[in-house]
Amino acid sequence: MKSLLFGLAALCGALAMPVAQAQQLNILCSTEADWCESKAREFSVATGIKVSMVRKATGEVYAQIKAEAANPKTDVWYGGTHDPHLQAANEGLLQPYVSANMKEQYPWSADLLAKSGNQVAGIYRITLGFGYNRELLAKKNQKPPACWSDLVKPEYVGEIETSSPATSGTAYTILATVVQLMGEDRAFDYLRALHKNVNRYTTSGTAQRQSVSRGESLIGVTFLDEFIPEQHVGAPVETVLPCEGTGYSVGAMSIAKGARNLAEAKKFYDWALTAEAQTIRDQTKVIAIPSNRAAYAPEPVKALEKAKLINYDFVKYGSSAERKRLIDRWDREVRSAPR
């Protein structure tokens, strides 16, 4: 009887104890969906932390983090072009953090962290260019584009797909690149001419990968890492590094200011900067230059190093005011222009 009473007392005591809350993490991801899902799964297995991962375009994530500023629901913003991350940093929407693993990163990652006031770290690097469907091109008996200037030729009317800088970090990088290549007024003349050849502006800069692969669009303008996986599976896709030179972006990572799960966010941040986390196991999914020096880089990545890169001004074109001004001008003068 005594043992029964003791057992009941112990049970009651256990029930009265507060239940420990399971560790969790809320991540908004702006890179390839397969990569987002694999990173969430790998981190959860490694740490036991439950991850809620939602994939959205960079512009959409920026808008959400800004809207949630008074009551943050997002902990980590993972992936996507650096410009919207820098804009969020400039507006005080991010949490400064310097991981001990930064010592393992390439200088361009550390440079982004320093320029953002320790709020944004680089985790990969990608290069702008074109992809085209060679079978569709042959069917139309056309020559492939080799330069930015080729894209405005009349034979490409309605044949080019790109994204909108209002929602896509990729598209904003394209906009900032042509401005730096040509000068602003000439760049907007060029973009208005290009507008006549564009069949649609997508919300995300990743859509061109499948559109070109399937032959829905002849040419796609985006980061070249989008097209390389299609080549791995035998799609009739060729890539072009523009002859005049091109821009690039540093894929970024940041922590939302006021993150509810800050300790878990820092754990993910640290983990995401390791060589293990950045190793590309399935080369058909993601091709980008890892920021960790020890991470594996496949041959298609090394080929991208041959690109003639512009001296991209991350500070100027990453500022909130400059980004808004250029996007507003694009919306007024390009998006609404007649075809």
Measure CA 285 to chain center.
14
Tens of pLDDT, residue by residue over 229-253, are: 888 889 999 999 999 999 988 999 9
pLDDT in tens, 212-225: 999 999 999 999 98
Whether the full predicted model's pTM is greater than 0.75, yes or no, is no
Q: How confident is the model at residue 3 (pLDDT cuts 50, 70, 90)?
A: very low
End-to-end CA distance of the chain: give it in Å, rounded. Answer: 89
Higher per-residue confidence, 5 vs 258: 258
Average pLDDT of span 102-110: 93
pLDDT, position 10 = 44
Asked if residue 306 has pLDDT above 60, the reply is yes
DSSP sequence for 166-213: TT-HHHHHHHHHHHHHH-HHHHHHHHHHHHTTEEEEESSTTTHHHHHH
Residues 6+ apart with CB under 8 A from 148: 178, 181, 190, 242, 243, 244
Residues 82 and 34 sit within 8 Å (Cβ to Cβ): no
Is residue 133 within 8 Å of residue 218, measured between CB atoms? yes
Can you give the pLDDT at residue 282? 60
pLDDT at 103: 97
| Residue 234 burial by Cβ neighbours in a 10 Å radius (0-12, 13-18, 19+) | exposed
The reported pLDDT for the residue numbered 33 is 84
Q: Is the pLDDT of residue 7 over 50?
A: no
